[in-house]
Structure 1
Amino acid sequence: MNQLKATSEQWKGLYEAAAAFKKAECWRYVTNSHIFGVENPFNKEIGYCCILGNGGEMYGLAVYLGTESLETLLSMLNGTQEIDPMFSQHCLMLSFDSRTELYPAELKQIKKLGLKFRGANAWPTFRLYEPGFFPWPIQNEEEVLFLSLALEQAIEVVQAYKNNLDAIFIREDNVFLTRVSDGDRQNLVWSDEWLKPMILEKANANEYLANPIDEFRLAKAKKLLKGFVGIWEIDCFFSYVPIDEGQRPYYPMIGLIVDQESEQILQFGLTDQSGIQGKMAEFLLEMIERVQVVPKEVWVCREEVFHYLKQALISFEIQVYLKSELPAMEDARIEMMDYLIGGRG
Structure 2
Amino acid sequence: MRFHCTKKLLDMLNKSSKLLDFDPLPVQPVDKVTNQDELNDWHASLTEVDGSYIATFINDLTSFPVVVGLFDLDNIYEAFEGFENVLGEVMLKQKIDKQIVFEYLEDLEPPILTKTISRAKTGPLSAVTIDAQNILYEEGTTSFDPVEVTIALSETPRVKNGKAFFPAENWLEIWDERSKLEESYLVSTGSDETLTEKNLPSQKDWIAFYEVVDKIKKETPWRKIDDDELIAVKDPESEEWTYCSIMGRLGEFSGIGLFEGDKGLKSLVKVYSVDHFIPEYQLKSIQDCLLLSYVSRSEIETDNYDRLQKLGLVENQYYLLPEIMKHTPGFVPWSILSQAEVKRATLILNQVLTVLNNLTYADELPRLMDGLVTSRYKQDGKWETSERPLPDLQSLFEQEPYIFGNDLVLHQIKKAPKSPLSLQVDAVHAPAILQEHPEERPYYPMITLCVEEESMEVLNAVTYPETKENPKHILECVVEVCKDMRPKEIIIRTQTIEWVLEDFCNKTDIKLVVRERLPEFDEVVSHLENEFS
- Please classify the TM superposition score into its range, dividing by the shorter chain length: 0.7 to 0.9
Once residues 490 and 272 of structure 2 are traced to their aligned partners in structure 1, the CA distance between those partners, rounded to angstroms, is 30
Cα displacement (A) at 1:266: 0.8
Residue 222 (structure 1) aligns with:
412
* Larger-Rg structure: 2
Match of 2:500 in 1: 308
Higher relative contact order (CA 8 A, sep 6+): 1
CA shift, 1:157, in A, is: 1.2
Look up the SS of the partner of 2:213 in the other structure: helix
Tell me which residue corresponds to 1:197. 390
Match in the other structure for 2:450: 257
2:489 to 298, 304, 307: 298
Determine if contact 1:237/1:254 at 8 Å carries over to the other structure. Answer: yes
Once the two structures are superposed, residues 180-227 of structure 1 have per-residue CA deviations (whole angstroms, 9 ceiling, x without a partner) of 1258xxxx7422132112346465553x427865x66x38x939x773
Q: CA–CA distance in 1 between the matches of 2:529 and 2:249? A: 36
User: In the alignment, does 2:377 pair up with 1:180?
Assistant: yes
Aligned equivalent of 2:129: none
Identity %: 21
Show the counterpart of 1:209: 402
Q: Aligned partners of 1:50, 1:203: CA distance in 2, in Å? A: 20
Structure 2-normalised TM-score?
0.53
Secondary structure of 2:481's counterpart equals helix
Aligned residue in 2 for 1:165: 363
Distance between the aligned counterparts of 1:242 and 1:65, measured in 2? 27
SS across alignment from 1:136: coil
In 2, the alpha carbon distance for the partners of 1:202 and 1:51 equals: 22
Q: Find out whether 1:91 has 2:289 as its counterpart.
A: yes
Q: Is the 8 A contact 1:212 1:311 kept in 2?
A: no
Distance in 1 of aligned mates of 2:230 and 2:215: 20
Which whole-Å deviations, capped at 9, do the CAs of 1:118-156 have from their partners, x for residues lacking one? Answer: 787522111223333333225123321222122222221
- Unaligned stretches of 5+ residues in structure 2: 1-151, 157-187, 189-198
Aligned-residue Cα RMSD (Å) equals 3.7
Matched, 1:236 2:426: yes
User: Which of the numbers 29, 34, 37 marks the counterpart of 2:232?
Assistant: 37
Distance 1:147 1:210, change over 3 A: farther
Closer/same/farther in 2, CA of residues 45 and 258 from structure 1, 3 Å limit: same
1:128 counterpart (315, 326, 351): 326
Alignment: residue pair count: 329
Shift in CA distance, 198/141, structure 1 to aligned 2, threshold 3 Å:
farther
1:266 and 2:459 are equivalent in the alignment:
yes
Structure 2 residue identity aligned to 1:229: S
Indicate yes or no: 2:245 matched with 1:47.
no
| Cα distance in 2, alignment partners of residues 66 and 175 from structure 1 | 16
Determine the structure 1 residue equivalent to 2:251.
56
TM-score by length of 1: 0.77
Relative to structure 1, is the Cα distance of residues 236 and 222 closer, same or farther in structure 2, using a 3 angstrom cutoff? same
